[in-house]
Amino acid sequence: MTRTVIAQGTFDILHPGHVHYLEEAAAMGDELIVIVARSSNVDHKQTPICPATQRRDVVGALEAVDEAILGHETDIFVPIEEIEPDVIALGHDQHHDEAAIAAELERRGIDCELERASASDSAGDEELLSTRLIVDRILERRG
């Protein structure tokens, strides 16, 4: 039986922290499906720079990812209901409330585990592990 893992996120400007998260998520099962947030659902940080389809395509090109899809326009749990994963892998610093997610999964009758990935070991001051830091560096050097 295939153990399906879902990872999700914005993945605006792909960086080593994203790769680490998705590689860890892939190691949690046999198949990794990544749900890429639509811009309309990103309300916890600034609007993404790259269009959702571009972000999906770049994430889908990573070796660890078996399939990348766009999230639902209005209900982020719809793809989870459709896929019926065994595991939802959360990034180490994602803003999600695990108890609230677990409660909503239970309410919808979705039986899966929640696992959180570890933080990436930074290779030094020059490695940028967040989109915000990348944008800040661009503005600092090119602004």
* 93 is annotated as contributing to ligand binding: yes
Instruction: Retrieve residue 41's tokens.
Output: 């659902």
* 2 is annotated as contributing to ligand binding: no
E-assigned strands of the chain?
4-9, 31-36, 67-70, 87-90, 113-116
Are the beta carbons of 43 and 125 closer than 8 angstroms? no
Are the beta carbons of 31 and 56 closer than 8 angstroms? no
Are the beta carbons of 104 and 76 closer than 8 angstroms? no
* 11 is annotated as contributing to ligand binding: yes
Instruction: Retrieve residue 50's tokens.
Output: 């790259």
* CA–CA distance, 42 with 106 (Å, rounded to integer): 24
Tell me the binding residues: 10-11, 15-18, 93
Tell me the binding residues for ATP: 10-11, 15-18, 93
